[in-house]
Amino acid sequence: MKALRLMSWKSEPELVEVAKPTPGPGQVVVKIGGSGACHSDLHLMHDFDAGAVPWNPPFTLGHENAGWVDSIGVGVTAVKEGDAVAVYGSWGCGKCSRCQLGIETLCERPMEQPIPGGGGGLGLDGGMAEYMLVPFERLLVKLPGKMTPADAAPLTDAGLTPYHAVRRSWAKMQPESFVVCIGVGGLGHMGVQFVKATTGARVIAVDSKPEALELAKRVGADFTVVSDESAVAKIREITGGIGADVVIDFVGAESTMKMAMGSARSLGDVTIVGIAGGTIPFNFFSQAYEVSLQTIYWGSRPELVEIFNLADRGLIQVEHTKYSLDNAAQAYKDLQAGKIKGRAVIVP
């Protein structure tokens, strides 16, 4: 079968021929129906060196995956051949207290994971291929109703990560609150929708691209602001001089982190999701009083079930463009060039 593989750090991925996987005991092989192209993969291709993460290439890319069960190993009972499923992407040990709660992203026994701190498409083979091996049946979530794998795949990261960020700050998203979403790409356009679908707060979307701001408006943003030196002043003006209750930075560059801290109201939350590598000073006086600064990493299995429910009811949806597996490398080039609206999804 064909697979788009990262062969070494600091390189472009290659479409190569590999063997179709077979499931061992407790394992499942999924025929891929959708695999999302995440900006994190661009960081993997261009920014990472050996030692940055506890695993190395070569591996097949694609950590946002969904499809149909192709074959099951001995002892698998939760799914059967032909079931439409999504793959929860962060593969923990399954036994520690965090994993028991479904928070496999924060597994406390990395050495007992299939690969420390990774999963399919992150050190092990992912879904940018015709088939993918999933090591445990608990990592599969059945798709509800009419949801297709191409719709579901980006929900497993471009959906799950912003949902986790929004959910963590729910208490500060009251009807009178303002939430700023910086960077309205794959993750950000879902962040806007989760605030609107699950809270009464108003959303101020910030991006440097006019098309991204148009998308933000279309998916429910109440206000849009161009990302430049005047953005903090504009956010202050929209919020009546007070600032935003929650700011979620889906870029994570120095300029956006500065914007985030400058826009937050006292007692506000600033959440850094993007991993563009920015740093900012943090001391008693560097932001309004009692602002909390946090990072977040992906989301939990129960949260994935929650967003499938929201999607099944039509409350959220991923704006996406489909690419064939033969054209998957082009999807990443287009993502790099800022040409993708929402998410690019590879459909083999």
What is the size of the binding site for Zn ion (CB under 5 A)? Answer: 9
> Binding of ligand NAD at residue 34 (CB under 6 A)?
no
Which option in ligand NAD, Zn ion, none does residue 153 bind, with CB closer than 5 to 8 A by kind?
none
CB of 53 to Zn ion, least distance (A): 13
> Binding of ligand NAD at residue 184 (CB under 6 A)?
yes
> Binding of Zn ion at residue 107 (CB under 5 A)?
yes
Interface residue with Zn ion among 62, 92, 252, 348 (CB under 5 A) is: 92
Asked if 124 and 112 touch (Cβ cutoff 8 Å), the reply is: no
> Binding of ligand NAD at residue 253 (CB under 6 A)?
yes
What amino acid occupies position 40? S
Q: Among residue numbers 96 through 155, which ones bind ligand NAD (CB under 6 A)? A: none
User: What residues have CB less than 8 Å from 323, skipping those under 6 apart?
Assistant: 37, 330, 331, 344, 345, 346, 347
> Binding of ligand NAD at residue 269 (CB under 6 A)?
no
Residue 6's closest CA among 47, 112, 274? 47
Structure token pair of residue 326: 């033969």
> Binding of ligand NAD at residue 251 (CB under 6 A)?
yes
Alpha carbon dihedral 92, 97, 100, 105, in 10-degree steps, equals: -40
> Binding of Zn ion at residue 96 (CB under 5 A)?
yes
User: What residues have CB less than 8 Å from 155, skipping those under 6 apart?
Assistant: 64, 86, 304, 307, 308, 311, 318
Q: Of all helices (H) and strands (E), which one includes residue 93?
A: none
Q: Among residue numbers 185 through 224, which ones bind ligand NAD (CB under 6 A)? A: 185-188, 206-209, 212
Each residue 271-310 as x (binds ligand NAD by CB under 6 A) or -, in order, gives --xxxx-------------------xxx------------
Asked if 194 and 223 touch (Cβ cutoff 8 Å), the reply is: no
Burial 45-63, CB ≥16 within 10 A → b, else e? beebeeeebeeebebbbbb
Q: Among residue numbers 60 through 89, which ones bind ligand NAD (CB under 6 A)? A: none
Q: Among residue numbers 25 through 84, which ones bind Zn ion (CB under 5 A)? A: 38, 40
Q: Can you give the binding site for ligand NAD, defined by CB under 6 A?
A: 38-40, 43, 157, 161, 182-188, 206-209, 212, 227, 250-253, 255-256, 273-276, 296-298, 335, 338
Where do contacts with Zn ion occur on this chain (CB under 5 A)?
38, 40, 92-93, 96, 99, 107, 109, 157
